[in-house]
Amino acid sequence: MKQRLLFQFGAFTLNPGAMSLWRGEELIHLPPKAFDTLAVLVQQRGEVVTKQQLLDTVWPGTYVEESNLAQNVFLLRKKLGQTSERSEYIETVSKRGYRMSVPVREVEIAEDDKTRPQADVPIAAAIATPAATYRGLLTTASILAAMMCVVVVVSDLRRGSGSAPAAPDFIQITHDTKDKRGRTGTVGGPDAALLTSGDRLYFTSGTSTGPSVWQIAAKGGEPVQIPVPFAYPQLLDFSIARSELLVAGSIDDVTSRPLWSVPVPAGNPRRLGSFTARDAAWSPDGREIAFTDGAQLYLSNDRGTDVRKLADLPGIGWRPRWSPDGKMLRLTIAEVAGGTQYLWEVSRAGGHAHRLLEGWNRPPFECCGVWSPDGKQFLFQATRDAKTDIWSLADANSSLPVQVSHGQLNSLAPAFSPDGKKLFVIGQQLRGELQRFDSKSGQFVPFLNGISADFAEFSRDGAWLLYVAYPEGTLWRCRPDGSGRLQLTFAPIEVMMPHWSPDGKRILFHGPGGGHDEVYIVSAEGGEPLPIARNSGRRMMGPTWAPDGNSIMYSDYPFFGADASKIAIHILDLRTKLITDVPASQGDFAPVWSPDGRYTATSTVRGSRILIFDFQTKQWSDTAEGWDLKKWSRNSKYLFFMRHGGDPAIMKLRVSDRKTEEVASLKGFDQTGRLPGLEFSLDLTDSPMLLKDTGTQEIYSLNWKER
């Protein structure tokens, strides 16, 4: 009989196979490298582990500076707290390394044993292969074992009133590792819904530039694509009769989202109404459609006519879901600039609007709720400490949610079977591989051993590379060969769009996290990131350095129907704090200053166009189709951008004559990262670099009951 190997120390139990740490019944969330560090120390059971041994084991095959190890130990001590004797769990041995200061006990539990270990810790139903050393657990086989660990297990944790849901006996439905959510990077908001008729499952899958609709038997089998006559399909809801899918999609323009009714198993899709929507859902009786457009919630009849506004929302509305009795709607509110999401409730009559769970999650990041068919539970996904799980909220609004899922995988997109006996979820492991386009072979190939790195950028002198670790969101810098790695930021800051200063001494980045939306500057040698505009009342989008390093350029946020007259390009002098506007830049956003200082390239809300402003002539010129992130060549002669649609590619525009040419095709390239379908990088030769999706997403079914 197979055994699970656990390690107990103090009040904690560590499960290496499931990559989980528990304090009693509390799951302690740790970043992957911090968990690896603790696992090495715990499995040595009080023996001294040298710093070099830890570096070689936790960061195999790469060189990192010792300060990264010290930061991991600091974080672990903070998470573990002190022992009953008021000492640290991890002891520093001067000039040698570290060791555990408390006794460590091994516990073996049979795989089919439903009981708990002595510390009374919930055990994930996973196959954990014992190993003599932790290095063995870092092999591909162990990673696959961790990925196959249970996505959802029973939680006895009770918070507030109401009975706790139970969802044992998970079954993996899909086995292809491919994306199951669909991507909305080009339109914003949560990903597509997972839907079920009971005997079949429906999901959006494909690359970030070419999603499609699929179905699979609820018991497993081969997925089958459902053809639709429009681009960028996004699953929204299922009809009460389980015969029609509600899908958003557009034939020509991805930013416009008409609603379509798609019959299943076969039939001709039909357009619903003449409006566009971000998200929508049929009422329980099938007679109405609730849909969101920007910060408004609307109702229409089932044909998409007789449209009337139901409520103004505090932010961008997504994923409306009717209560089974049809008396209220709950939906996700997304604050794009702040990078947060939370749940909102409003009655069918438009009254009693209020936020759910205010103050429960800091920063708030809840979304994608769904009622149980009997209306007694409301399930949703919430991200806490960089980990996403499914939670259940009892019908009484006064109760606090109960955690349903545990384990190393993220759990997403809860969906009930019509009879309420099955719960379907998506188990997700985020991971990417940095790849560089090789012009000789015409293919993308791994770069820096394929590290999972987003927003990569070389310094002006080419001596350093910065990147954001994915999915952790931490900022790093290293040499072009990968040596000299140094971590520059730590949670809760999640770094986006970092840029080297012209002299290579500072790094500018956008850092939502901890409930704040800030722009920071941090030294390339490390230290405290300093916000540059806190309490100014301004939200900066896409900050970029001036060539002299004394100013930054940025724009206002343009999303979701913003007034174009109130959007412009601004320049902030870091010395005087004075702000000036770029001439005639109203309606423009996402500026990028050329390295030589002569040009800035922007996008415009007046259409999907890229504009260039010449600081010498003070003139604007319309150049090409596009509205996403842009990159300048190192000599400022070319501007690179992404082409979307049926033939996605990285393009470059020659500034001298405005001619464009294709650099690298993106057909079939499944991109991941914080901004898939938008973000890319350039190496020292101006060859494109992108983060290829190497993570996994699989659908699981679970028996659901209330106990």
Among positive and negative, which fits the CA dihedral 386, 412, 284, 204? Answer: positive
Say how many C-beta atoms besides its own lie within 10 A of residue 301's C-beta: 15
Percent of the chain residues past pLDDT 70, beyond the cut = 83
Global pTM exceeds 0.75: no
What pLDDT does 210 receive? Answer: 67
- Of 142-151, 364-373, 427-436, 531-540, where does mean pLDDT reach its minimum? 142-151
What pLDDT does 609 receive? Answer: 85
Where do the domains of the chain lie, and which CATH numbers do they carry?
A: 3-147 (1.10.10.10), 176-374 (2.120.10.30), 432-690 (2.120.10.30)
Residues ≥6 apart with Cβ < 8 Å to 658: 621, 623, 624
pLDDT tens per residue, range 533-547: 654 556 788 899 999
Q: Distance between CA atoms of 343 and 320, rounded to whole angstroms?
A: 10
pLDDT band at 619 (very low <50, low <70, confident <90, very high): very high
Structure token digits, residue 249: 């999609």
pLDDT band at 562 (very low <50, low <70, confident <90, very high): low
Strand order in the sheet with 696-703: 171-172, 696-703, 422-429, 410-416
Residues ≥6 apart with Cβ < 8 Å to 666: 207, 209, 642, 648, 649, 650, 690
pLDDT tens per residue, range 67-93: 778 878 888 888 898 888 888 999 998
Q: Please classify residue 103 by burial: count the beta carbons closer than 10 Å to its beta carbon, then call 0-12 exposed, 13-18 middle and 19+ buried.
A: exposed
What pLDDT does 648 receive? Answer: 87
Closest CA to 216 of 250, 159, 178: 178
Phi, psi of 66 (to 5 degrees): -65, -25
3-state secondary structure of 46: coil
What pLDDT does 278 receive? Answer: 87
Q: Distance between CA atoms of 9 and 100, rounded to whole angstroms?
A: 9
What pLDDT does 397 receive? Answer: 56
Closest CA to 56 of 42, 37, 43, 80: 37
Please check the confidence at residue 238 and state whether its pLDDT lies above 60.
yes
What pLDDT does 433 receive? Answer: 94
Please check the confidence at residue 177 and state whether its pLDDT lies above 60.
yes
Please check the confidence at residue 141 and state whether its pLDDT lies above 90.
no
Please check the confidence at residue 137 and state whether its pLDDT lies above 60.
no
pLDDT band at 208 (very low <50, low <70, confident <90, very high): low
pLDDT tens per residue, range 293-339: 888 999 999 999 999 999 999 988 999 999 999 999 999 998 766 66
Residues ≥6 apart with Cβ < 8 Å to 507: 466, 475, 477, 488, 498, 499, 500, 501, 521, 522, 523, 524
Please check the confidence at residue 132 and state whether its pLDDT lies above 50.
no
Please check the confidence at residue 691 and state whether its pLDDT lies above 90.
yes
- Out of 156-165, 465-474, 559-568, give the one with best mean pLDDT: 465-474
Please check the confidence at residue 186 and state whether its pLDDT lies above 70.
no
pLDDT tens per residue, range 50-59: 988 998 888 8
- Of 347-351, 583-587, 644-648, where does mean pLDDT reach its minimum? 644-648
What pLDDT does 187 receive? Answer: 47
Percent of the chain residues past pLDDT 90, beyond the cut = 47
Q: Distance between CA atoms of 559 and 334, rounded to whole angstroms?
A: 12
Please check the confidence at residue 160 and state whether its pLDDT lies above 70.
no
- Out of 59-63, 357-361, 635-639, give the one with best mean pLDDT: 635-639
What pLDDT does 252 receive? Answer: 47
Please check the confidence at residue 464 and state whether its pLDDT lies above 60.
yes
- Of 305-309, 430-434, 563-567, 644-648, where does mean pLDDT reach its minimum? 563-567
Average pLDDT, the chain: 82
DSSP 144: H
pLDDT tens per residue, range 268-302: 899 999 998 989 999 999 999 999 988 899 999 99
Structure token digits, residue 670: 């499944």
- Of 31-45, 447-461, 509-523, 594-608, where does mean pLDDT reach its minimum? 509-523
